[in-house]
């Protein structure tokens, strides 16, 4: 199970400890969005002996090594995204869920002027919705 992620971690210069491999197995088995709290609950339900500190440190490490993208919603809610391809999101404030929108579903006809010493690296749209 965790063996398939060992090479992924080594490619990013991450020492593949048992706990990091168990966390990788939980989060990289499919493209998904999750919060640290949701991952902590998954770890608990899987009866894995991993501390909250280790989970947070591992998420920070995976993010810094480019294995996770973060979507910070500015309201004390930070989602982690395993889909590193360019894409956009819909955030439902009623049920705290994040859904992907493929890059080809949104087009920009105008963006603000960017200072000459900068260039656009990527654009991302976050659409916030709530239940009626």
Mean pLDDT of the chain: 92
Percent of the chain with pLDDT over 70: 97
Question: Could you tell me if 40 and 48 are in contact, meaning their C-beta atoms sit under 8 angstroms apart?
Answer: no
pTM for this predicted structure? 0.87
What are the tens digits of pLDDT across the range 106-126?
Answer: 988 898 999 999 998 888 899
Half-sphere exposure of 53 (CA within 13 A, CB side): 0
Q: How many residues would you count in the chain? A: 132
- In whole angstroms, what is the distance from residue 4 CA to residue 12 CA? 14
* Domain locations in the chain as residue ranges: 3-72, 85-129
Q: Does domain 3-72 have CATH number 1.10.10.10?
A: yes
Q: Which pLDDT tens digit goes with each residue over 27-69?
A: 999 999 999 999 999 999 999 999 999 999 999 999 999 999 9
For 23, 82, 83, 107, the CA distances from 29, given in Å and listed in that order, are 10, 9, 11, 30
């Amino acid at each position: 199970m965790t063996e398939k992620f060992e090479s992924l971690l080594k490619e990013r210069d991450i020492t593949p400890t048992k706990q990091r491999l168990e966390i990788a197995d939980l989060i990289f088995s499919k493209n998904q969005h999750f919060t640290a709290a949701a991952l902590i609950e998954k770890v608990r339900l899987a009866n894995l002996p991993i501390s909250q500190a280790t989970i947070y440190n591992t998420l920070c490490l995976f993010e810094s090594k480019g294995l996770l993208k973060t979507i910070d919603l500015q309201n004390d809610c930070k989602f982690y995204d395993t889909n590193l391809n360019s894409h956009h999101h819909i955030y439902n404030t009623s049920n705290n869920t994040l859904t992907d929108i493929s890059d080809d579903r949104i087009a920009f006809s105008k963006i603000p002027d960017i200072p000459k010493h900068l260039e656009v690296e990527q654009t991302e749209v976050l659409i916030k919705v709530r239940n009626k």
